[in-house]
């Protein structure tokens, strides 16, 4: 069984295009830090915890070595939002050789959505995309920041990108196999057909 998936490609071609999101209240205890030491375990946790309910599946087959190789590339950065010390979401940047920086992944763990963290994290990540070459001398200065999202993504994703100043430059529609959301860890997807444990087990 297949379904029609619309994918939107968005870009900023000037740092001045960024429209900052509102920061969470100071008492909420939100901070953003870069995961500077490449950690396949941590990055896979973020990927599955954030994307488990919106059908992020492309990296699920990756081996530890594949994660390590990718995270070790120049210009790949993971910025993590924390609320009172607990990871709430992340934004992953990947620099290209032509001065473009892709927002490869961005999102929040479900329990932290609707807490005014997403717009702030996206704003911070876009700013880090524009100044990425300052941390990576081997990468060219950023000339363009881009991202893609699709109709399977979170319901607020597209609006958040547009509010931050991104503009659509391409739209595609494809037929893709219908795949259930995998959940945040193996076995955490839809389990309605499995027998439920009885009391006292």
Rounded CA-CA distance 60/62 in Å is 6
- The pLDDT value recorded for residue 199 is 43
| Tokens standing for residue 117 | 């963290």
Residue 32 lies in a domain: yes
Q: Are the beta carbons of 29 and 88 closer than 8 angstroms?
A: no
Residue 56 lies in a domain: yes
Residue 159 lies in a domain: yes
pLDDT, tens only, 152-165: 898 889 999 999 99
- The pLDDT value recorded for residue 190 is 65
Residue 192 lies in a domain: no
CATH number for position 87 = 3.40.630.30
> Residue 118 is part of which domain span?
2-177
CA neighbor of 38 nearest in space, from 87, 89, 74, 86: 74
* pTM metric for this prediction: 0.92
19: left (phi over 0), alpha (psi -120 to 50) or beta: beta
* pLDDT exceeds cutoff 80 at 197: no
pLDDT, tens only, 118-151: 999 999 999 999 999 999 999 999 999 999 999 9
H and E: helices and strands count for the chain: 4, 7
- The pLDDT value recorded for residue 99 is 98
Residue 75 lies in a domain: yes
Residue 190 lies in a domain: no
HSE (side-chain half, CA atoms, 13 Å) at 86: 10
Count of beta carbons in the 10 Å neighbourhood of residue 33: 10
Q: Using H for helix, E for strand and C for coil, what is the string for 5-62? A: EEEEEEEECCHHHCCCCCCCCHHHCEEEEECCCCCHHHHHHHHHHHHCCCCCCCCCCC
* pLDDT exceeds cutoff 70 at 58: yes
pLDDT, tens only, 174-192: 998 988 889 998 888 764 4
Mean pLDDT score of the chain, rounded to an integer?
Answer: 93
Residue 185 lies in a domain: no
- The pLDDT value recorded for residue 158 is 93
* pLDDT exceeds cutoff 70 at 196: no
pLDDT, tens only, 82-124: 999 999 999 999 999 999 999 999 999 999 999 999 999 999 9
Number of domain units in the chain: 1
Count of beta carbons in the 10 Å neighbourhood of residue 78: 22
Residue 61 lies in a domain: yes
């Amino acid at each position: 069984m297949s379904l029609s998936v619309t994918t939107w490609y968005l870009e900023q071609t000037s740092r001045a295009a960024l429209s900052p999101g509102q920061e969470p209240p100071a008492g909420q205890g939100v901070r953003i830090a870069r995961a500077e030491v490449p950690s396949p375990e941590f990055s896979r946790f973020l990927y599955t915890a954030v994307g488990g309910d919106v059908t992020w599946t492309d990296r699920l087959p990756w081996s530890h070595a594949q994660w390590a190789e990718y995270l070790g590339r120049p210009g790949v950065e993971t910025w993590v939002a924390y609320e009172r010390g607990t990871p709430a979401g992340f934004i992953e940047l990947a620099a290209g050789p032509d001065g473009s920086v892709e927002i490869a992944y961005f999102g929040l763990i479900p329990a932290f959505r609707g807490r005014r963290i997403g717009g702030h994290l996206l704003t911070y990540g876009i700013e880090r995309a524009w100044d990425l070459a300052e941390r990576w001398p081997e990468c060219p200065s950023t000339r363009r920041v881009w991202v893609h999202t699709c109709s399977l993504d979170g319901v607020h994703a597209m609006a958040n990108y547009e509010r931050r100043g991104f503009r659509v430059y391409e739209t595609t529609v494809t037929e893709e196999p219908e795949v259930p959301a995998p959940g945040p860890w193996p076995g955490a997807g839809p389990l309605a057909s499995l027998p439920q444990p009885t009391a006292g087990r």
